[in-house]
Every structure is written in structure tokens, then in C-alpha cells.
Amino acid sequence: MSGFRLPAAGWRVDFEDPERSFAAKTNFELARSLLIFNVCAVPPLVQNASILYKAATRALGQQLPDTVIRASFFRHFCGGESESDLMPVMKRLGDNGVGAILDYAAEADVDSAPRGDHAAHPEYAGEADCDFNAAIVVSSIDAAAVAAERGGMEPFAACKMTALGRPELLERLSAILNSLSASFSRLDTDGTGQLTAAKFIDGLQRAGSTLNAEQLASIFATSTSMLTAWLSTRTGWMV
């Protein structure tokens, strides 16, 4: 370990200062990091990593390649596999002025995800895996809060939405949300971020609606009431 000692808790590391930036690292960890980054800088190795891994497992079996990867790439890029693994890592980083972002590394590839009806795509793992991932994400958020409380660091947890649902469904939801956002912006003519009955009526009439003002006002009132009821029953919030 470096002989450099950091100030009291709450101090933030300056990444332009190499001595302070790497104060939490051993010489072995620094050498391993340098080796890994040099390997990652070789395009043929990166582009054919999956092929090379499969070839190694066929020739050497599963255990040896996995052991090498776990001791090198995994140790460099991942903090651990459980909360008990992560806490010491986060504490060591926090003691040296470095914050941590908890990120559960599980997600689906949108481009390779199954399309269409679920029954036609038996390779889709189903909602059980999504529920499992959701539980892990919640645990990560809790762990971030606990680590922040112990180390005085701001809690931060990353959540990959593609780990929590079928990518095709998420794409559709994203398209719906984008469409709703664009529609809201067109109706919110004064940019206040609030949609009133008057703006709703005026916007739809300018868009060519054949309904009269009374009918549009009724639609607005009904929609607002339904949204308020939905939010209050599920979150306890009122709008």
C-alpha cells in the first residue's frame, strides 16, 4: 500500500493526483489493472473474447478459465457478488475519498431479445428472472443506503431497466412515454409544466378535434380523476 495518508472522513479524492487516486490500491492491484487495460487495448482479443473463452473451456474444462477470469477481469471490474462482498470494498474506497455506484450487472440485449408472442419464443426466461433481478436491485439500493450511512458518502445505485422486464416491452413503453411527453409539451403552451383544463381544450381544438369545449372538459376531468385514484391506491400520493 502507498504510505500516503488521507485527511478525515468526508474528503473527496482528486483524480488528477495519481498518488491520492491510487492510495487505496496495492502494487499488485495496480499491476493487474495495467495488464488488463493492455489486454483490453488489443482489438482482436476484445472482438473474439467469447470465441476464445468457449475454446478455452472446451480444451481445458470450465474450472480453469473461470478461475483465471475471476481472479483477473472480475476482480478488476466487479466489486463482488453479494452485499457481504461489497461492503468491505465500499468501505475501503470511502476511507480513501472515493464514492461507489452499486450496479447489478444483469440485463438483456434488446437487439437479440425475442420478438412477438411469448409462446413463440420459449428461449425467453420469463418474469421469474425479472422478479429475481428486481429483488437484487432493491437489495443494492438498501446496501448503498447502509454504506452511505456508515461511510458518510452519498448513496448511489444504478438500475438497468433491461434487467427488470422484457426488452421488447420496455421499448414499447419507452415509445409510449416519448409520445406522451411530446403531446404534453404541445399542450403545455406556456411551459409551466402543468396541464390545465383550459390548455387541454385549447390544444386539442387547435389540433383539429371535432369535440366541443364541454366534451373536452369532461374528458379532462374524468382522466384527471382516474389518474389521481390510480396514484393514490398504489403509492399513497395525491396529485
Residue 109 reports pLDDT greater than 50: no
Residue 111 reports pLDDT greater than 80: no
pLDDT at position 13: 62
pLDDT at position 24: 75
User: pLDDT for 68-99, tens place per residue?
Assistant: 998 898 888 888 877 778 778 877 777 777 77
pLDDT at position 87: 78
CB neighbour class for 102 (10 Å; exposed up to 12, middle 13-18, buried from 19): buried
Q: Among 108-122, 174-188, 216-230, name the one with the lowest average pLDDT.
A: 108-122
Residue type, 203: G
Cα 117 from chain centre:
26
β-strand partners of 230: none
- Integer Cα distance of 239 and 233 in angstroms: 12
Using DSSP's 3-state secondary structure scheme, residue 123 falls into coil
Query: What pTM value is reported for the model?
Result: 0.51
Kind and range of the H or E element at 164?
Answer: none
- Integer Cα distance of 105 and 108 in angstroms: 10
Among left, alpha and beta (phi > 0; psi -120 to 50; other), residue 236 is left
Q: Confidence band (pLDDT; 50, 70, 90) for 108?
A: very low
Q: Which of 235 and 155 is assigned the larger pLDDT?
A: 155
